[in-house]
Amino acid sequence: MRAGHDRSIDIQEAIRITRTLSSHFPPGKPGKAYYSNLNYRLLGEIIQLITGKFMEVNFEERICATLGLKRTYLYDWTKPRPGEQPATIFLNDAPVSVLKYLSSNVSDGGLVSTASECKLFLRAFMEGKLFDKGLLRRMMMWNRIFFPLRYGYGLMCFQLPRYFWITPLPGFIGHSGSTGSFAFACPSRSLYLTGTLNAINPSRPFFFIV
């Protein structure tokens, strides 16, 4: 895809690819985490199996309709929405098309949204309006992943150590994406930051936040 060859990768192929990779540490090792899109795909398959509904229906019924989101949807390149083409993504300052790949990311990043609707979702998520707020505390059991991030259950914690700044920087909780999208809450400041830089550069959002 970095060479400009956009294609779909279904769950079966994703599993086959993953099985060829070496593990980074034994499963369940205390204090350690490693990010994998496949985990989100597997959760999506479980959700569809339990509910008997496709992921786009689950997203619509459980999140979009509940929060009144009108411009948030699961992208399908075979059924483009009139006037709703996703923003262009750039790699090394050149535009790239990843619409087929985006469509295959059903439960691991295939949603299209706006910064304002993403903020509505983030706020509802952090305030426990979509599920029992007690679950949020379990999701914030942080593990080391790579500096300066820690990872919980589907959540990142971004906080620079004090020696990087004159005064301590607050912690940000949320997530970022490979295309420069980000949604972070700063509980200590009652602050919500959402947006996208539309560039395949996963580290760039953190420089923007700082």
Q: How far apart are the first and last CA of the chain?
A: 30
Domain ranges of the chain: 11-209
Whole-number Cα distances in Å, 145 to 149, 152, 153, 157, 187: 6, 9, 12, 10, 21
Percent of the chain with pLDDT over 70: 96
Residue 1 has pLDDT above 70, yes or no: no
Work out the mean pLDDT of the chain and round it to a whole number. Answer: 89
Whole-number Cα distances in Å, 158 to 143, 150, 151, 187: 12, 7, 9, 12
Distance CA 43, CA 58 (A): 12
Which of 16-30, 61-75, 142-156, 195-209 has the weakest average pLDDT? Answer: 195-209
72 CB neighbour count, 10 Å cutoff: 18
For 146-175, what is each residue's pLDDT tens digit? 888 999 999 999 988 776 667 778 899 999
The stretch 134-148 carries a mean pLDDT of 90
Residue 85 has pLDDT above 60, yes or no: yes
Residue 191 has pLDDT above 90, yes or no: yes
- Show the tokens assigned to 167: 């005064």
Residue pair 145/35 in contact (Cβ under 8 Å)? The answer is yes
The stretch 178-192 carries a mean pLDDT of 93
Q: Output the pLDDT for position 112.
A: 92
Residue 107 has pLDDT above 70, yes or no: yes
CATH T-level topology, domain 11-209: Beta-lactamase (3.40.710)
The stretch 190-195 carries a mean pLDDT of 95
Strand order in the sheet with 143-146: 143-146, 149-151, 156-158, 172-176, 181-186, 191-196
Residue pair 148/160 in contact (Cβ under 8 Å)? The answer is yes
pTM of the model: 0.89
Distance CA 59, CA 66 (A): 10
Q: Output the pLDDT for position 165.
A: 67
The stretch 133-157 carries a mean pLDDT of 91
The stretch 179-188 carries a mean pLDDT of 93
Which of 20-24, 57-61, 129-133, 166-170 has the weakest average pLDDT? Answer: 166-170
The stretch 4-15 carries a mean pLDDT of 88
Q: Residue written as tokens 């996703």?
A: 86
Q: Output the pLDDT for position 5.
A: 79
- Show the tokens assigned to 179: 């295309």
Q: Output the pLDDT for position 44.
A: 95
Distance CA 129, CA 131 (A): 6
